Every structure is written in C-alpha cells, then in structure tokens.
Chains A and B, each alone.
Chain A
C-alpha cells in the first residue's frame, strides 16, 4: 500500500477520544442477522478471495490485503470482542474499510460460499462513522446532503440558473433543446451528480441535447436531483436512506414514470439496488423504476431514436471500463456492448470484463476523499492500468464519473496515453442532428 501515514494522522488529529461502546454494540446487534452470522462462522480461510481482489493484486500480493483478512480484522474482530474495542483498533478499521476496499463485490463471486464481504465492510464503515472516525471530506459532503439534499450544498436557485444557462448555451448550435425543471407527469425524472452543475455543467446540456434528439419527455427536479449517495460511502446509513428517499419521493410527487440516472456508477447501485435496503422498504424494490443512462442510450441507439453519423465514428482503438456499480452491481454490461459498435470501429475489450471486471480503484468513496488519498488510489489502480495497456486502446469509454477521473489519473501516473470519454460526449459529437433541432440556416443550407 502507498504510504499515507501523514494523511491518516491529519485525519485523526483533534478527534474526540471517547468511544461510545454501547452504540457500537447496538449497530453490531442490529446487523447480527442470519447472513452475517453464517458468513462469519463458515469462512474456511481457503484464501481463494485474495486473487479476486484488485487491491491485493495491485499491491504486491500483500496477504493483509486479501478480502478475508480485511473482514476478519474489521467486522469479524468487532463481533469477536463484542464491540469492546479501542480507538487504535477503529483507526485500523478505517484504513482497511476506506483505503483497502471499494466494496466492488468481486470477491463474493470468487468465494466458494459466496460470502458478501462488501456488505461486511460497509457495516464496519457504519461503526467507524458512529464513533466519528470517518473521512473528513465524506463527512462534509454528507453534511451538505443533510442541509440541502445534495452533496455539493448547491442551493435550488443555482441549480435552476445553471439549467437555464446551459439551455441557452445550446442555442448556438441547436434549436428546441430545453432543460425543463420540475415538470410534472414526465417519463423520466433525470437525476444528476452535483459535480456536474458545479464543475462541468456542459454535462447537463449534453444530456439535454441527447434527450431532445430522442424527443424524450423528461425533467430535472428542483429537489431530489442528486442521485449520488456519499453518505452511503461515509458509513452514515440513516442519511444514506434519506438521500434515496429524497429522490424516490420527488419522482412520485412529480408523477414521473422512471428515474433516470446520469453516467454515475454508485448512484445506480444506491438507487436501484441498495436504496430500498437503506431506506428500510420491506419490499426490497425502489418505488419508482430506476434507469441508468447506459440502458437508455442502448435503447435509443438500437431503436434508432438517435442516429450516429458513420463518418464521425471513432477510428482510434477504444476500450470500455465496466464500472463495478453499472456492470457487476448493476447488470448493464451487455447494454454497454450494444452501444459501442454504433460509436466506434475498433473495440478492444479488457480482460477480465463484464460482471467480472476489476474496479478502477477510484470507487467506494476514495475519489471524493480528496487528493491526499491519491497515492493509495494510484497504487491500487496498477492492475487497471495494466489491463488498459494490454488492450492497446487510446480511448477508454466509461459511464461513471469516478472511473472517468480515475482513468485519466491512471493514464498520467502510468503513462498510458489514454483519454477517458463519457458516452454523452461521444454521442453528442457523433450523432446525426435531427431536423427538429437543426438551426434555421442549417436547414436552408441543406
């Protein structure tokens, strides 16, 4: 593992030293169901999980990085000691739970018993969080969620302004591109990552251009528009539940048929799969259908609602990074592979891929934990860098903001010479602009 002791010392400095053991015991008790009991008791220490883990493989096969070791020394030990642990132990849990595991869930497919280690690590995060031992940045983002419903703390007016501004921006190139806010009875309520309005608002206009081209009925809600769930990564389970409820409730209020999610991985896992668990819905399913951008794009392209200009197809070799939370934890790997032939000629898949892909090492919250943790991300990303290099690709398509940023960072760190691209960028660049969106003078010219 990369040496980030200085960062950790900074992280734990001035922290409150008293632990609330009864609270730890309460969380342990609440989670002590048949699953956790069984998993903890039948692990046979065969070590097969080690070779499934990118953190282990990327960091010189350090045996302390095998998934079994990691759960044994966090949640396993917490149960064994019945929650009577000290601060030093929880700081070690912090290191394991946030720096050595992105909860990508790959190991549970390689464990003979299918032990779900990611779930156990997330409980370990929950316990650390309850004692104030949590990444400061994720805690701040969570605080923003608590106050404003989105992790960047963006006020409603600013979101609305950004949407207006982005709508205007499209007017130089297109007609009839609208970004409707809070429109009722639409097919899709489009939810976004707060980083989009704050850092790259073009992402919103690109989505609007694509949705307009397909003549979709959609809206961005003025609240409940943040599809991400950083409280989930911070270990704040209650707030994570609130975060998904915000989105579900808004969709129901607007009468939207479906919730559409931007190119973000964990947002999909959160809203479509973990959300009902976190929100405590006994039915286990989200109250409104959740659709990822990848799914919608594959529908548009296969149904011909969006047409790609063959001359604008990507000629350079490309590969596809399966985001863990879109592919393995979202089931959308084939949808992505339906899209790619429309966009590029020379597709080279990584190995392994699809549901068996490796995490990019930027998932599980480590990306928003900030630049101090970059050395850990880069070290654990070695495997991904090697995978990408082996394809010989120059472009990596990935429908996840975390993967996107991580791949650009990896390219720099490992000299890969690749560029990450999102689906929106490629589709907007290469699609045939339908007549209803062409500017008047373009129609005249044609």
Chain B
C-alpha cells in the first residue's frame, strides 16, 4: 500500500517538483540575468566557458584540485556514483521497463555495489574533513551535515535493502522516501549546483579567460 503510493503518485509529484523546480529556478535566474546582469552577455565566450567547465569536471584538471588530491578523489567518487547508480541500476531500469517498456542501459550489480560503497566511504570522509579542517569547520552549519546525510541515505538504505540486511519492506520504503526528499530538496538548496555549476563556472571562465586570457582552473 505504502509502496504503491510512493512509487505511484508521490513519485510523480517528486519528479514534478524536482524537474519543475529546477526549470522554474533556471527560468527565473535567466530572466533576472537579462535584466540585471545583461552587461556580462557581451563577454560570452563558448570556448572559454567550456574550457572552464571541463577543467573542473575532470579530476585533478585544476590547480585547486591538485592541491587537495585525496579530497578530489573522494569528491569524484561521490559525484560519479551519485549520477551513475540511480540512473543505471538494473533494479531501477526494470521498473522503468515495466512501467513504460523503456529503460536505460544497466550496469552490473556488482559495480553498483562497489560504487555505493565508494559513495558511503567518501561521505564519511567528507564529514570527517568538515570536522577536522578548521577552515571547513568554521563554514559548516548543521544544514551542511544534514544535506550530506540526506544525500547518502538513499544509497545506504538501497544497499541494505538489496542485500536484504534488516527489515526489507521498511528499508525499501525508507530508500524511496529518502531519495524523494533529496530530489525535492535539490532545486531549493545548494544542491542546485548540479545545474548551476555549469553556469557559474562558464561565467568565471569567460570573464577571466575570454576577457583577459586568465585560466580560472
């Protein structure tokens, strides 16, 4: 009953808020930028914008990332899993297939398992880093920990449910619920960087590079 509700109407509401929220936010920011930041449109440079993005989505491609190489490794493990496992997990694709007869490719379950462990390990590392490094601790609020835990929760619950460790039904419900909470939060929190990253990075890329030739990486 609960399961049907969560994978039925609640799921649709979740997707609507997640995608709609991001779309509305993007549209709002775009309109606002035309109004208040229009002068910067003069300096748009596609190549500098792309270079700027590329140097920050490839691991260790920026000076900054090379200064903290292990952190970079962990962050990439974290983000790669975050995008790959939910989209390409076999169990998820079966659901898509059952519902629409359409699905994405699937990755082997063992790979999903390994990646999930990497994500959980990197989340632990990120929490420890937040506590251990004074310059990070001073910036960190309870909300930063909350978001990090919320991001990890669907993976922990999913991992346990898959391996049938603990009460399966409850874990599955928690898994779906936590993932939905996360998706709903994305458009309204710093997690919106999943989209906005590309714009801010491109901006500094052409503002520093297009105008002055300075490499913002």
Chain A residues within 8 Å of B, Cβ to Cβ: 31-35, 37-39, 41-48, 50-52, 56, 61, 63-64, 66, 68-69, 72, 105, 108-116, 273, 276-277, 281-285, 327-331, 352, 355-356
Contact = CB atoms under 8 A, between A and B. Distances in A.
B37 interface: yes
Interface in B21-46: 29-30, 32-33, 35-40, 42-43
Contact of B32 (A37, A43, A46): A37
A61 B66 CA distance: 19
B64 A45 contact: no
Interface of B: 29-30, 32-33, 35-40, 42-43, 52, 56, 62-64, 67-68, 130, 133-141, 144, 189-190, 192-193, 196-197, 199-201, 203-205, 207-208, 211-217
Given A47-B133, A69-B138, A113-B200, A35 B37 contact: yes
A114 B64 contact: no
Given A38-B200, A47-B133, A277-B39, A329 B212 contact: yes
Contact of A108 (B39, B63, B136, B204): B204
A306 B38 CA distance: 43
Contacts of A273: 211-212
Contacts of B136: 45-47
Contacts of A356: 63, 215
A114 B192 contact: no
Given A38-B196, A273-B211, A114 B201 contact: yes
Contacts of A52: 64
A121 B197 CA distance: 21
A31 B36 CA distance: 8
Given A35-B33, A35-B200, A281-B39, 4 more contacts: A34-B37, A114-B200, A115-B200, A331-B213
A331 B29 contact: no
Nearest to B204: A114
Contact of B138 (A51, A64, A112, A115): A64
A72 B140 CA distance: 11
Nearest to B39: A284
A114 B52 contact: yes
Given A32-B36, A45-B136, A50-B135, A112 B214 contact: no
Contact of B63 (A110, A276, A329): A110
A69 B139 contact: yes
A74 to B, nearest CB: 14
A152 B217 CA distance: 39
A39 to B, nearest CB: 7
9 pairs of A and B residues whose beta carbons are closest in the complex: A114-B204, A33-B36, A331-B212, A284-B42, A34-B33, A47-B136, A355-B214, A110-B64, A45-B139
A99 to B, nearest CB: 18
A224 to B, nearest CB: 23
Contacts of A31: 36
A43 B213 CA distance: 25
Contacts of B144: 44-45
A113 B39 contact: no
Nearest to B198: A113
Nearest to B148: A44
Contacts of B204: 108-109, 111, 114-116
A56 B200 contact: no
B102 to A, nearest CB: 33
B38 A282 contact: yes
Given A34-B32, A114-B201, A282 B192 contact: no
Contacts of A61: 134-135
B190 A42 contact: yes
8 contacts: A38-B199, A45-B136, A48-B68, A64-B138, A69-B139, A108-B216, A112-B197, A328-B212
B208 A108 contact: yes
A63 B137 contact: yes
Contact of B134 (A48, A63, A110, A115): A63
Nearest to A107: B64
Contacts of A355: 208, 212-215
Nearest to A115: B200
Contact of B64 (A37, A112, A282): A112
Most buried by A among B30, B189, B204, B217: B204
A371 B176 CA distance: 63
Given A45-B144, A284-B43, A109 B135 contact: no
A111 B68 CA distance: 12
Contacts of B36: 31-34
A39 B38 CA distance: 17
A267 B39 CA distance: 21
Contacts of A113: 193, 196-197, 200-201
A349 to B, nearest CB: 16
A52 B139 CA distance: 16
Contacts of A50: 135
Contacts of A112: 56, 62, 64, 197, 201
Contacts of A39: 200
